[in-house]
Chains A and B, each alone.
Chain A
Amino acid sequence: MKIYTNTTYEIERNEAGESVSITWTFKHYDNYTLETQSKVIDVDGNTQDFEVEVVSEDDLAATKTATYIIPEADRTTLAKGESHPHNHENEIAFQEKYMKWWNDWEATL
């Protein structure tokens, strides 16, 4: 029995650009295969092989969503950077917020 989930999210923001809610979309697959892929692991460009789960849309079993209303104290105007070069401090600060949202949502399950 093998299951795999891909997760994406969308953040809803208010007029000030602050995150007020996050909606995760979970795509559940009832199978996956393992594929060896080479990944860059440092700034020098060194690579290492990892076993990565690969899914087929034929195995998509369900798509579900979950929305978490972000408390005022945990809102942010930060967003995850999508292109190089990344602003490290921005990324880490956003990541801390994101993890807080996730952990608080997970605790409600």
Chain B
Amino acid sequence: MPLATSGALSMSAIHVEAEGSPYAHSSIVSLNDTNVRGLTPASGYTINSTANTTISIGDFYGASSAVAMSTTNNARLSSSGNTTYVNRSVTSGIVFINLIQDFRLRRQDNFVYYETKTQFPGTWYNTSGTGSSLGSTYVTLGTFNLGGITSIKMDWSVSSTGTGGASISGNTSGTSATYSASDNSFQTVSNGQSIGARFVVTASAECYNSNIKLGTATMTLTAQKTGYLDTTLGAYKHQMRAAATSNNCF
């Protein structure tokens, strides 16, 4: 249980958190003790892990002995560019383009897999930025490397340019997920269960018009398990571009 985030903070409380036991009283605690310096700081705080460096009691507000889960990223994160990209151009008398990308976060002990697939061919980029084919079969973009994870969530946002629609919503039928994901809301899952969401980008054109819709979905995945910090797999950027061109008018 994390330390208090405000008010009085005792050396004893810090010791208990560092020892991970309410009965931790057998040794005299020092702010230079390895396990004290090893506590995970709360967001916005820093605990210097090197003994004899400057530290204050206030640095321990909200600190916890819990550690983050181990994760593995296979794909490029949003901070470095697109994680996936789908581009489809259609020219005809009348054009309606509907691009679909499915996301699934699936617990299969001892992992939770972040997976995606697309209706039309696209590209996914690994951590080195090398592109590989993306299509109608799920590709694993990253994993939480831990069994027994109890809750998972997808946190998404969508932006776009150009004429057309862009949407993201929870989905089970297209994603083959157990539960429909709800934005930024944890879903309890047991082994073998999953949550899913669908990203759709649309563009249409008629009577010699040209419309291009570039939709971007940013997806952040987080998992929960007792004894661990809530851990984020990363923020992934998924982009789809639909270019509709009409070459006639009826």
Interface residues of A (CB under 8 A from B): 1-7, 26, 32, 39-43, 45, 50-53, 80-81, 84, 86, 88, 91-92, 95, 98-99, 102, 106, 109
Contact = CB atoms under 8 A, between A and B. Distances in A.
Q: Chain A contact residues: over half helix, strand or loop, or mixed?
A: mixed
Contact of B160 (A5, A91, A95): A5
B208 A81 contact: yes
B28 interface: no
A5 B203 CA distance: 10
B163 A99 contact: no
Contact of A86 (B165, B202, B249): B249
Interface residues of B, number: 35
Given A41-B250, A45-B250, A1 B245 contact: no
B208 A4 contact: no
A3 B199 CA distance: 12
A1 B156 contact: yes
Contacts of B206: 39
Contact of A1 (B161, B162, B167, B207): B167
- Tell me whether chain B's interface is mostly helix, strand or loop, or mixed: strand
Interface stretch (B5-13, B109-117, B188-196, B210-218): B210-218
B101 to A, nearest CB: 14
Contact of B165 (A4, A41, A43, A102): A4
A3 B94 CA distance: 23
Given A43-B250, A45-B250, A7 B211 contact: yes
Contacts of A106: 161-162, 212, 214
Nearest to A31: B167
17 contacts: A1-B156, A2-B166, A3-B159, A3-B167, A4-B165, A5-B160, A5-B162, A5-B213, A6-B163, A39-B94, A39-B206, A42-B93, A42-B250, A53-B165, A86-B207, A86-B208, A86-B249
B206 to A, nearest CB: 7
Interface in B227-250: 245, 247-250
A3 B249 contact: no
A38 B214 CA distance: 26
A2 B165 contact: yes
A109 B158 contact: no
Contact of A7 (B157, B162, B250): B162
Contacts of B212: 102, 106
A45 B250 CA distance: 8
Nearest to B166: A3
A99 B161 contact: no
A48 to B, nearest CB: 8
Given A7-B163, A42-B250, A52-B204, A1 B158 contact: yes
